[in-house]
Amino acid sequence: MTLPLTGREIPLITDEWADPSLGTGCVKITPAHDPNDYEVWQRHREIGAVNVLNSNGTIAAQGPYQGLDRFAARKRIMADLDAQGLVEKIEDRTIEIDHSDRSKTIVEPWLSKQWFVHMADVDGGIVMGRGTSKEFHSKGLAQAALDATAGALPAFADGTKRAQVMFHPDQDRYRKMYDQWLAEKRDWCISRQLWWGHRIPVWRGDLPTQHLLMLAPMLKGQLSRDDVAAWIVLPDGTRLSVADAITRLQQPNAPQSIEVQICFRDESADATTGPMLQGAGLELDPDVLDTWFSSALWPHSTLGWPHPETAKVDAGQPSLGGKDGHKSALDYWYPGSCLVTGRDIITLWVARMVITGLYNLGDVPFSSVFLHATILDGKGERMSKSKGNGIDPLDIISRYGADALRYVVCELQTGTQDIRLPVQAISPFTKEGEPERLIDLATAKPGPYLGTFLDPVTKQPMDLIGQYAKEGLTPAKATSDRFAVGANFCNKLFNAARFAFLNLEGSTFVARKAGDLPLEDRWILSRLAKARAAVHGSLSDYNPAAAIAVAREFFWGELCDWYLELIKPRFRPETDANERAIAQQTLAFVLDQTLRLLHPFVPFLTETLWQSLRSLAPVRGIEAPLSDSELIVHAKWPEAGTARIDAEAEAAVAAVQQWCAAIREARASYQVVPRARIGVRIQATGALATLLQRGQGLLAHMAGAESIAIGADQQPTKDSATVVIGDGKAYLLGVVDLDKERDKLGKQAEKLRQQIQSMEQKLGNEGFRAKAPPQVIAQQEESLAAMRQQVAGIEQRLREL
RNA sequence: GGGCGAUUAGCUCAGUUGGUUAGAGCGCCUCCCUUACAAGGAGGAUGUCGGGGGUUCGAGUCCCUCAUCGCCUACCA
């Protein structure tokens, strides 16, 4: 057939690609400009492939359109076809076209030569870690990386197992992502057309066949060396070793011209031998390596691979080589333990690091991969510099502090859930003296350019990416008030420590048995031991948010809210010196351990407080002195201290807390002035009475009671408010309004009756009785009995009123 | 189109193998500047756990389905 536009003769072929249901069922094929047409070309090599475009988007093909921009050419082509009367119909059709993310330009497919890394299995297998003590064989690169996560890599020569690469916090999910991608074993295109990066170390060029044959005797010697790889590519794409090529090219019908490709193992050869190759018409490939190729080398290249002894280091840094019997940096640090990265990086980078580590060193670069969540903006979109919806950590640091940033980021990392972090712009249009105005970027109207937003008050555009100074736009910074949580935490920690420091003057260490300490001391030591275990457990589970929640609850909810308040009386001037000394010793110990526990989350503040603590209480401990350290960053992680777990103390303080909360609630609902100290009588018998008597003083102190009397014979006065918990009753003297009291107790009883009813229904269900585990049934029966008892107590009190 | 996830309080998120009345922080309401802390304290309100089906004595949790959203990947002249 003749192509009407250029008069070129083109073949007519049949192929499954053409769809008879679309248009005429006939379609032009442009293998160099369409991935599907490219596939057609692979099936019909005779049609050839013409690269229609130049790299700048103008028409390359000879003819009337040469040099025209592609958009202009398309219009011209339509006009020309129309002029020739060849256009029957024009239909609108929606198609999807790729656009460059950065420039938004339409991406045009373009035929070009690229380098690929062969990922699939290779006949005879490949050698991994060649020449190292960890050398082993694998079927192929991708397969080796699959074996790494399957735990299927062969053992080392000495019989020890190679590490299995494990994913956290969701091994199944993330390993599946990794495995599914690798299982395709698709070749990895490593050529990139960028002006920066690691240049692909291959010399190539077209040579006349005669030229190559003349050089043959010399090449045979040079190119069979182990440190040079060389190939000859025939015009039909066949790729041969130099020796095979020379044999082949001496036969009749040999092509006139061939392509030569040479790669030196040692990159210095590019400089020494390069000029000679250039003279022969070869050039170093102008493309650079894929970012991920260079990045894949990071775990070992940063440690001086392949020669740590001679690896370049910055001025003032020690050599990476080993000496005096010490290992080199590479031997010491490789393999590493844990890689922390994002989910989208699993295939791009993690898999490739495993591949290059196994290939170059015969070992995995790390055994654990911790995938953190992705931080998104308030709309659920990825933060991006060009969109201006991101936050600069340095801005957060200057606004809230480095510890606040770290604390909140740890707190956000809960598991596999992506994190929405609403972003606000700080309005640059507030006047002197006006309060700062934060503008939520999720709802703000976009400005005239990408990365700009309108200030809703002044309607002026703000530049969030600092790119529009020329256009006269005012730059604005982004922040997120979520980080205030971290700053508040630091403030609380600072103040709690300050309270301790104000009272630790003259603190000494005397070996004591934890069991001999006062109730509140035994309690906080017990809680500390449990918090320590829980924080440790959560960190081991790669769950920083859970760890920080436990640490926070211990520090704020138990140490500050209860323990510091409970021991205040012991620091009063009139207190016995020994009691004070014990309080100091326990406080110093607990603060020591708390600082260590919080150090991973707020390192700078804990480091500062550590210095003060050390100078005020140089020796800290209970049974024995703790190990000390000049810097907390070097200090040992808090000791397990499980021996200090004290169920009895915990039960007593838990009772104090429960009754205190109930008394406070009653005080609040009767609007008792917070500072007023009231009389309290608690009617209780048996175990409850014993428990409350242990914590009697503490309860009085914390509940703002002038005095607390506890006993079976305690009776209310007429003006008492009543608090009923279980089979005990507390009477708050002189606070009551009778109507209000009846109303309150009536509501409480009603709520309890509803719960009792639903519980009775459940327990009366034969299916439940027959099938539920006995301990669940027992538990529910127990709680039903307790609720019935409580209701009875309330009803009795109501009758009395 | 394929794959992997998500949907719980106004907001951001927890909720372990199914088991009492579903939690936290922020925000909100009331009271309090009490000699560590108002960036704080005491108390309080707020949820048909995305919709619909199913399994079970029992479902936020397991299964199916629909809706919406996100990520990875492919992509029809």
Spacing of A170 CA from B53 C1' in Å:
30
Residue A437's CB is within 10 A of a number of other CB atoms, namely 16
Cβ atoms of residues A555 and A593 within 8 Å: no
- List the single protein residue with the shortest CA to C1' distance from B7: A417
Q: DSSP H helical segments within A483-568, as ranges?
A: 484-503, 519-540, 544-552, 564-567
Mean pLDDT, range A451-462, rounded to an integer: 90
Q: φ, ψ for residue A54 (rounded to 5)?
A: -85, 170
User: Residue A344 has what pLDDT?
Assistant: 82
Containing H/E element for A143? helix A141-150
Cβ atoms of residues A365 and A300 within 8 Å: yes
Spacing of A637 CA from B22 C1' in Å:
34
Does pLDDT of A304 surpass 80?
Answer: yes
Residue type, A78: M
Cβ atoms of residues A469 and A490 within 8 Å: no
* pLDDT 10s digits, A688-703: 999 999 999 999 999 9
pTM of the predicted structure, to 2 decimals: 0.85
Cβ atoms of residues A60 and A67 within 8 Å: no
Percent of chain A whose predicted confidence (pLDDT) is above 90 = 47
Q: What is the rounded distance in angstroms from the CA atom of residue A563 to the CA atom of residue A555? A: 10
What is this model's ipTM?
0.93
CA atoms within 13 Å, Cβ hemisphere of A706: 7
User: Residue A370 has what pLDDT?
Assistant: 92
* pLDDT 10s digits, A86-142: 888 887 766 666 776 666 677 788 888 889 899 989 999 999 999 999 999 999 999
| CB-to-strand B under 7 Å, chain A 638-677 | 661, 664-665, 667-669, 674-675
- Residue A296's nearest CA partner among A227, A364, A196 is A364
Cβ atoms of residues A485 and A596 within 8 Å: no
Does pLDDT of A249 surpass 70?
Answer: yes
Cβ atoms of residues A519 and A649 within 8 Å: yes
User: Residue A104 has what pLDDT?
Assistant: 67
A780 touches strand B (CB under 7 A): yes
Apex A569 CA angle, A564 and A574, nearest 5: 145
Mean pLDDT, range A414-426, rounded to an integer: 87
- Residue A592's nearest CA partner among A520, A523, A497, A513 is A497
Does pLDDT of A450 surpass 70?
Answer: yes
* pLDDT 10s digits, A335-345: 999 999 888 88
User: Residue A95 has what pLDDT?
Assistant: 66
What does the DSSP assignment read for A468-490? -TTTTPEE-EEE-GGGHHHHHHH
Which of A218-227, A556-565, A756-765, A767-776 is modeled with the greatest confidence? A556-565
Mean pLDDT, range A155-181, rounded to an integer: 90
Residue A98 in tokens: 């790729």
Cβ atoms of residues A223 and A285 within 8 Å: no
User: Residue A135 has what pLDDT?
Assistant: 96
* pLDDT 10s digits, A594-610: 999 999 999 999 999 99
Does pLDDT of A739 surpass 90?
Answer: no
Q: DSSP H helical segments within A338-400, as ranges?
A: 345, 351-361, 393-400
Cβ atoms of residues A235 and A258 within 8 Å: yes
């010697």: which residue's tokens? A221
A767 touches strand B (CB under 7 A): yes
Strand B contact nucleotides, protein CB < 7 Å: 3-7, 11-15, 19-21, 24-26, 30-32, 34, 36-37, 39-44, 56-58, 69-73, 75-77
